[in-house]
Amino acid sequence: MMTSTNQQIQHYLTKNEDKARLLVSCPDKPGIVSSISTFLYEHGANIVESNQFTTDHEEGTFFLRIVFASENMKSKEETMKADFHALADQFEMTWRMTFLHELKRTAIFVSKELHCLRELLYEWESGDLVTDIPLVISNHESAREIVESFGIPFYYIPANKEIREEVEEKQLELLKEYNIDLIILARYMQILTPKFVDSHPSKIINIHHSFLPAFIGANPHKRAYKRGVKLIGATSHYVTDDLDEGPIIEQDVIRVDHRNSVNDLKKKGRLIERSVLNKAVKWALEDRVIVHKNKTIVL
């Protein structure tokens, strides 16, 4: 069973079928932008958006995101990818070229808390989250009703640390079957094994509260309340083998004060988690995020 694109997303795909994106990172040196511009010109493409950044203009790393357009892009994409290799080798580039007529495929993992899942599904339904969501995986049944109401297949796979490897084998099979590009942990309360993480490098996005590292472990809101914190927030990051220490994509905060109870902190925390995760996912889907060491460049 496959989810079909809604009308708004289909309109986006049709409108942008002759556009593509190029992401580049490489040692900074003269001639990079000029060479890429010449390459695109020679292939009949016009630059419609460009963002760049360098860590140091003499010995740093250069990052670039370009959106370009060309008539009959579908017929040119294989040639453009093949021809770009020579330029990439010349400048020692790490690069990715994506075409906007190809819809990225996203899997959502969730446990009992559904606020982040709801936000993503509503954004997808409205056409503001431009992706296909072929499945949702959960270790609880709580999300089944809402997921299936959107016409999305729901897979209930009970999980705990005793059977973690067996569970992940099933999950990896599903991700391969559905040809998934991006995995979102929308409050999925299970630790992933190194094998799972390594199979999808910089493709798994997580969300958690921003008390870390001050209130690590259980009941962070209760302990933060006792401490009298004035700011709470959320952090969205790529998952690595170092628990909750992967490259940060987006963060935000909201003010609290002595009038707020523990439940108030939780409600405000859920509100900011929804917003932060949604932004991080959109930026990843729009090819705006480049991982550099243990940080991200968001262009």
**Which residues are identified as catalytic?**
244
CA dist., res. 43 & res. 81, Å (int): 11
Q: Please tell me what DSSP assigns to residue 76.
A: H
Q: Please tell me what DSSP assigns to residue 48.
A: E
The alpha helices in the chain, defined as continuous H runs, are 7-15, 32-42, 73-91, 115-125, 144-149, 164-177, 194-199, 220-227, 262-285
Longest dimension (CA), the chain: 64
14, 73, 130, 286, 296 from 18: Cα distances, Å: 9, 5, 16, 15, 28
Question: Could you tell me the two tokens for 260?
Answer: 């707020």
CA dist., res. 287 & res. 135, Å (int): 22
What count of other Cβ atoms lies within 10 Å of the Cβ of residue 134?
A: 20
CA dist., res. 36 & res. 22, Å (int): 10
